[in-house]
Structure 1
């Protein structure tokens, strides 16, 4: 699956038009070192389960992070004694994700209807006798909305920044494990499935980039 991929990615940096590829100035077609089996097992211990197979083999054979779709892949690394995904070597990293958070149940799909219902219940001033009553009701509603909004991220890793607040995530738990989803919340569309697994998502980026550069 990953034979020759690391070499192909690194070779792209030598092309004269490489800087014109979207996101290239964020990752420079650089890849971090591959991870060892020992490192991956330590990461999985913090995660509370095994990594998706395609991604696991990528870390062992291609690199821990760096060049990839959009502004590049976040890298799993130890920080303050715990594993998390950080934007090592990336000019425009995605949001960091701890392994513990990524190992929680993935509930974004289940929360969609609950968030929609909650939005319809947003308090309005005319429904309350005083501004103080409205303020208390709105604060409680807003706190619950933020709780559910943030809970959509659990069980997934922010893998790549797309720009303007959009990001690509990889689901780490549940029936969608190993799938790439997109954070489209800036356009009020939630976190949605792309229909692609990690290998398809990464190899499609590589092949399209090679075609554009005619390598």
Structure 2
């Protein structure tokens, strides 16, 4: 998506704050229809240097022409922010933010699907106390199993950015590396459903939210 595709989008989002019923839109209490400042090329190149890959095109254009973060689906978009340890996505201006993501972590390989298969296999191998001669042996085996499970669980997030909080532990992620680069996935692990694709890239995902919200506030 180019500059033309995002033309007028920042103004449309900011106008929503003054519409009757705006405070009733889901997530509005988290972002208030506020957008952070747009980013410039120098900032984006520095972010990409930490990331190790170029930003997905639709998202990069959004950062240049709409805003660094703020108003968006659910409780709003996280913002790329430069700190003492490098670039990371933080919930600047959001009342309910997703977990932070460092650029280094987001630049790793995204292999959530492969890891889910391994997690499913490991889950089926959870130690049972009846299989061990003593309680100590069982505790040691279960601790090793749990450590491996948590390692794989956390590794599923690599290669993606936590872009927004949906509530109740669910979140929206944007894949930054590999064949799914630029796609929006959902972290549905609180419902034991893993990290799943939405079928949308960033641009259509964001514009769909904007158009849906505009229709809601016109009714």
Displacement of 1:16 in angstroms is: 1.7
Calculate the TM-score normalised by the size of structure 2.
Answer: 0.97
Counting matched residue pairs gives 215
State the Cα deviation string for residues 57-83 of structure 1 (Å, max 9, x = none): 000000000000000000000111400
How far apart are the structure 2 equivalents of 1:131 and 1:81? 44
| Aligned twin of 2:97 | 93
SS at match of 2:11: helix
| Aligned twin of 1:50 | 54
1:27 aligns with 2:31: yes
1:139-178 mapped onto 2 (5 Å cutoff): 139-178=143-182
SS at match of 2:166: strand
Instruction: Name the stretch that deviates more: 79-88 or 36-45.
Output: 79-88
How far apart are the structure 2 equivalents of 1:129 and 1:147? 27
State the Cα deviation string for residues 90-131 of structure 1 (Å, max 9, x = none): 000001000000000001011111100000000000000000
How far apart are the structure 2 equivalents of 1:16 and 1:79? 38
| Aligned twin of 1:75 | 79
Select the residue among 109, 117, 135 that pairs with 2:113.
109
Instruction: Name the stretch that deviates more: 181-190 or 72-81.
Output: 72-81
RMSD between aligned residues? 0.7
List alignment gaps of at least 5 residues for structure 1.
none
Calculate the TM-score normalised by the size of structure 1.
Answer: 0.99
Select the residue among 114, 121, 127 that pairs with 1:123.
127
| Aligned twin of 2:21 | 17
